[in-house]
Amino acid sequence: MGACWSARIKAESPFHTGVNSKCVSKDGNDVSGSSSRASATSVPLTPRGAGEIIPSSNLKSFSFSELKMATRNFRPDSVLGEGGFGSVFKGWIDENALTAAKPGTGMIIAVKRLNQEGYQGHREWLAEVNYLGQLYHPNLVKLIGYCLEDEHRLLVYEFMPRGSLENHLFRRGSYFQPLSWNLRMKVALGAAKGLAFLHSAETKVIYRDFKTSNILLDSNYNAKLSDFGLAKDGPTGDKSHVSTRVMGTYGYAAPEYLATGHLTAKSDVYSFGVVLLEMLSGRRAVDKNRPSGEHNLVEWAKPYLTNKRKIFRVLDSRLEGQYSMGGAQKAANLALQCLSTEARFRPNMDEVVTTLEQLQDLKDVERNTQNGNHPNRANHSTGGTRSRRRNADEGQNGKAASYPRPSASPLYSRD
Ligand SMILES: Nc1ncnc2c1ncn2[C@@H]1O[C@H](COP(=O)(O)OP(=O)(O)O)[C@@H](O)[C@H]1O
Ligand SMILES: [Mg+2]
């Protein structure tokens, strides 16, 4: 766990409370008209990212012994995943009473157990309770409840049967087959809708830790964002940004955020661009196992993305034959726009959603394939050899070791 934790860019702003307190009026004002929030009466004038638990009639407060029972004493063989916060276990509860149920009966849940000591862990736990306790959207994971008892801090979510996008893109093994082009586009759209909802005028939340391990998939590959530990209220009034110390995950954070700590919705758009690029390329944001010059995905891929003929060098060779030339170019161009060094040139998430919606049209692929105008075959004369070679070195050696987070780098660690 220690290694996983260090992958995050650490340290939170001491100004956090002060910044958030400016959001009080927003929280008090905008809940009434929003169907996606808990009822106005359940939302006191408390910043969502700090302070105490905001009462929510939709969350159950579990006892520790109940969750111990539901997860069969946190059995190691029922671990669903691990992150910076702790381990996530599979468990069972009765769907009506929400009490522990016999394994294999009732409703499956995912129980995240904090294994970090100290204030930062508690703070992330609290942020997650307060954001997910109030925000409802088909592309956000559903929080069922929490446990706060002595030193115990746990979160109880709906179970997401297909696990994280990270596993599907990067984990080797027979269980995780490479995701098809169409499924990647579907997942990208779902995740984009989740972010667009967070950024919307009535919600105004910056997610701050957008990455493949925080995108979970249900049985139909609908994407849902989880892990709201670093989420933050966006700027209010005429403020352009929220000031924080830098947190997030190496490889995903926007350059201006790393440089200044100024957080805006466009920081999330940059991280979305990194994830989209990971989906298109099948490469991790940071991969020290690659040849030098290719460790950082964005730095390596950007020059290819700017050239229509060269984007195929970046595309995951496991996707060959599944996409059209136009579709691939459009997706690559979208990633490139999101990765603009200057935040103002990045699209907003509504625009990203619109573009991705156009990419869900399967006919584009079929038409090209029927015409014999297959993009990859055409491409072989330009970048095909390169793309095959890339496949060979895509051995993912060490991938198991770096699972579940991208390898840690002390580069941006601020504490
Ligand atoms: N609801 C869930 N259903 C299934 N797997 C989950 C669920 N929540 C988390 N996981 C697994 O656990 C991993 C870590 O969860 P996450 O919420 O990101 O924790 P952390 O806050 O520690 O990063 C995820 O990447 C995923 O593999
Ligand atoms: Mg996580």
Determine the atom of ligand 1 nearest the C-alpha atom of 226.
Answer: 17
Q: Is ligand 1 within 6 A of the CB of residue 213?
A: yes
Domain boundaries, the chain: 2-158, 163-397
CA 224, CA 192: separation in Å to the nearest integer?
A: 10
Written as tens digits, the pLDDT of the chain (415 aa) is 333 333 556 434 332 332 232 222 222 222 222 334 333 333 333 455 556 888 776 899 999 999 999 999 999 999 999 988 889 999 999 999 999 999 999 999 999 999 877 778 899 999 999 999 999 999 999 999 999 999 999 999 999 999 999 999 998 775 678 899 999 999 999 999 999 999 999 999 999 999 999 999 999 999 999 999 999 999 988 899 998 888 889 899 999 999 999 999 999 999 999 999 999 999 999 999 999 999 999 999 999 999 888 999 999 999 999 999 999 999 999 999 999 999 999 999 999 999 999 999 755 554 544 444 444 443 333 333 333 333 322 333 322 222 222 322 322 332 2
Q: Is ligand 1 within 6 A of the CB of residue 157?
A: yes
Pairing, β 205-206 against β 232-233: antiparallel
The domain over range 163-397 is classified in CATH as 1.10.1580.10? no
**Which long-range contacts (C-beta less than 8 Å, at least 24 apart) are formed by 68-72?**
69/100, 70/100, 70/101, 70/109, 70/111, 71/111, 72/103
Q: How far is the CA of 291 from the centre of ligand 1 (A)?
A: 30
- Tell whether residue 302 is among the known ligand binding residues: no
Nearest CA to ligand 1 atom 25: 213
Determine the atom of ligand 1 nearest the C-alpha atom of 128.
Answer: 21
Say if pTM beats, i.e. exceeds, 0.75.
yes
Determine the atom of ligand 1 nearest the C-alpha atom of 157.
Answer: 1
Q: Is ligand 1 within 6 A of the CB of residue 216?
A: yes
Ligand showing the shortest atom-to-Cα distance for residue 87: 1
Handedness of CA 124, 129, 131, 136 (dihedral sign): positive
- The CATH architecture assigned to 2-158 reads 2-Layer Sandwich (3.30)
Q: How far is the CA of 214 from the centre of ligand 2 (A)?
A: 5
